[in-house]
Structure 1
Amino acid sequence: MAQGNHHLDEADLSELCKALWKADKNRLVPGNDYRLDLQGRAGYVSLGKDKAKDYAQHPLFTFVDENHLHEKPTYHAFIALLDNYETATGICETVTSEEKAENSRFLDAILHTEVMEIAHPFLVKKNLASADPRQFKWQLYKIWFDLYGRGTGNDSSGFEHVFVGETRKAHEVIGFHNWIQFYLQEKRGNVDYLGHHARRSRSRPDEEDHLLTLQFSWKQAVKPKGSSFIGTSPEFEMALYTVAFLLGTEHSSKYRIQVDEYRFDLVCHRSGSHIGSTYPMLLESNLPV
């Protein structure tokens, strides 16, 4: 399929991101639907839990209105997927028929949202997706849920890496860029929030920020620095990340995005025809609001 000029794509993607942000009706409201306790600024970490100092004695999420997680169809369908994976790399995944059905139900749910109804025509116009909704759903399935090898065999997928998270060599967390997974894992005692990475232009991030860079441990492995949207809907992240992936032609792509008060680089790594990783990287200094 045809690919455009990268700088044109970057401008187009930034404009699309603004439209998706505005259309994200399922985004949760900080201070109302959830509350954060950012606590201390994270320190430098050499991989290994014993070397990670905890600058946050309490959980990151002090409250989440779980009615949203169960009553919003896209959230409910998303959460059903989070326990479908063996998170250690090097162990082949087995996908059951029920898990395939859950993947399909999740895609059906997001495809009926305003966010995806903006992203799909954008991709069609760019000649990067079929106008046929069934073909587009199949394309999404292959990009996100088809298995590929990260450590060995079919041990990974785009969805697992980006939204669920993986561990490598027992001491390193890779991927894991989703706030819902973070909250649920923290609630179960599997995630230990270690602190935030502040912007240079501020002494600390704001607890109402929708984009944060965090440090945490998970299953005894450490994520020294990972950026995630906070409070955004699953469909917003799926739409934005899918478009970034399909716009890119190189093994790795990076797009400078400005939306609302947030300035960030949207990073996307390919694994052949699948998403290897994609995430927002909050810039240290933001433009004035």
Structure 2
Amino acid sequence: MAARFCGVLVLVAVFLSGLNASRPALNQELSNLFNELWRLDVNRMTPGTDYTISVQGRASFVSQGSHVVQDHATLPLFSNVNENKLKTTTTTSRFMKLLDNYERSTGMTEQVTTEEQTEINLFLDAVLQTEVMKRAHRYLVSKGQSSANLRLFKSQLKLIWFNLYRRQRNTGLDSCGFEHVFVGETRSGTEIIGFHNWIQFYLQEKNSYLDYKGYKARESDLPDQDDHVLNLQFSWHNLVKPVGSAFIGTSPEFEMALFTIVFLINTDRSTTVLVNIDQCQMELVVIRHGRSLGTAYPKLLSSNSRHVRQHAR
């Protein structure tokens, strides 16, 4: 079956209750751009070849903050991942070195060592060399949102993704966009926040820190092994994420490029754009924390080109 850019792990309960609420109009310009980035993403993993997932059962409703959850997936989500490709692809290998640099709990001040700063710089250098981020950079320059100077663009990415700030009041600098979106955090010892990356999901699952509980989807949008986005439920360090969202198989540079563009095209605290990418229609949500990223996630609206078929009726 042809690989589909579908299935998304969507992070907020609003996904379930607000699907019929008013939505922004389709952003065709960004849809065209993001499909171009999708085609340029040569570091994307191929389902059935580089990894295999087992979506298993539909997860049941769990309220935020609850520690009680029924398991509808007896097996891990990832039954196989080509770790050699992860380790030999420059962006993903450097990305994985960043995942253990953060305190999991908000309220705990982050301490960034010289070695960790070097890891951040090496990761950004690798990302900037990809065709995905080069194309994103050209687009942002054309819109007057970024400097054509590569050094200044790197500094802009660093400010957006790695600048530390206070997520919790009356604490030290305890969070950043990269940690929240790609690594995941816990809050007040009761809930999981952020955590939207499939590589982190796989590694945490492999090390038995994470337990996949089942997928979340509407009746007409059942996921399968080829989906490149999933909505799912999981527990992590004994806390439960009722509904999560993440791309599956995509490269770090692809996700970073998408969310950076959405972040920079609007100065509102919260930005939502409706886009069609491959066979999926989704909202990309970005929330600011000053000049840095607070959170970013996809909200899947339809997969398997169902939105195309409905429009054709």
TM value normalised by structure 1: 0.94
Q: What residue number does 2:201 align with?
A: 182
- Please say if residues 170 and 220 of structure 1, whose CA atoms lie closer than 8 Å, have aligned partners that are also in contact: no
- Please say if residues 46 and 52 of structure 1, whose CA atoms lie closer than 8 Å, have aligned partners that are also in contact: no
Percent identity of the aligned residues? 53
Q: What residue number does 1:91 align with?
A: 108
CA shift in 2, pair 1:237/1:17, >3 Å: same
Q: What residue number does 1:230 align with?
A: 248
User: Is the partner of 2:115 in helix, strand or coil?
Assistant: helix
Please point out which of 259, 266, 270 is paired with 2:277. Answer: 259
Q: Which one-letter code corresponds to 1:158 in the other structure? A: G
Total equivalences in the alignment: 282
**d(CA) in 2 for partners of 1:207 and 1:8?**
30
Q: Which one-letter code corresponds to 1:190 in the other structure? A: Y
Q: What residue number does 2:15 align with?
A: none
- Please say if residues 215 and 231 of structure 2, whose CA atoms lie closer than 8 Å, have aligned partners that are also in contact: yes
- Please say if residues 26 and 275 of structure 2, whose CA atoms lie closer than 8 Å, have aligned partners that are also in contact: no
Within the alignment, does 1:12 sit opposite 2:23 as a pair? no
CA shift in 2, pair 1:48/1:21, >3 Å: same
**d(CA) in 1 for partners of 2:239 and 2:127?**
31
Report the CA distance between 1:258 and its aligned residue: 0.2
Q: Which moved more, 1:10-19 or 1:76-85?
A: 10-19
Report the CA distance between 1:48 and its aligned residue: 4.2
- Please say if residues 25 and 274 of structure 2, whose CA atoms lie closer than 8 Å, have aligned partners that are also in contact: no
Report the CA distance between 1:58 and its aligned residue: 1.0
Q: Which one-letter code corresponds to 1:128 in the other structure? A: Q
**d(CA) in 2 for partners of 1:281 and 1:93?**
29
Within the alignment, does 1:66 sit opposite 2:83 as a pair? yes
User: Is the partner of 2:287 in helix, strand or coil?
Assistant: strand
Within the alignment, does 1:215 sit opposite 2:233 as a pair? yes
Q: Which moved more, 1:218-227 or 1:75-84?
A: 218-227
Report the CA distance between 1:170 and its aligned residue: 1.2
- The two structures, once aligned, show a CA RMSD in angstroms of 1.5
Q: Deviations over 1:70-94 (max 9, x none)?
A: 0000000000000000010010100
User: Is the partner of 1:149 in helix, strand or coil?
Assistant: coil
Q: What residue number does 1:148 align with?
A: 165
Which residues of structure 1 form unaligned runs of 5+?
A: 1-6
Q: What residue number does 1:276 align with?
A: 294
Within the alignment, does 1:170 sit opposite 2:213 as a pair? no
- Please say if residues 50 and 82 of structure 2, whose CA atoms lie closer than 8 Å, have aligned partners that are also in contact: yes
**d(CA) in 2 for partners of 1:35 and 1:199?**
22
- Please say if residues 199 and 205 of structure 1, whose CA atoms lie closer than 8 Å, have aligned partners that are also in contact: no
Report the CA distance between 1:200 and its aligned residue: 3.0
TM value normalised by structure 2: 0.87
**d(CA) in 2 for partners of 1:207 and 1:199?**
17
| Deviation >6 Å, runs of 4+ | none
Q: What residue number does 1:4 align with?
A: none
CA shift in 2, pair 1:270/1:180, >3 Å: same
Report the CA distance between 1:205 and its aligned residue: 0.8
**d(CA) in 2 for partners of 1:133 and 1:263?**
32
Q: Which one-letter code corresponds to 2:270 in the other structure? A: S
Report the CA distance between 1:8 and its aligned residue: 9.5
**d(CA) in 2 for partners of 1:183 and 1:254?**
28
Name the structure, 1 or 2, with higher relative contact order (CA <8 Å, separation 6+). 2
Which residues of structure 2 form unaligned runs of 5+?
A: 1-23
Please point out which of 112, 126, 129 is paired with 1:109. Answer: 126
CA shift in 2, pair 1:253/1:165, >3 Å: same
Q: Deviations over 1:33-79 (max 9, x none)?
A: 00001111011102345321111111000000101110000000000
Q: What residue number does 1:3 align with?
A: none
Report the CA distance between 1:129 and its aligned residue: 0.4
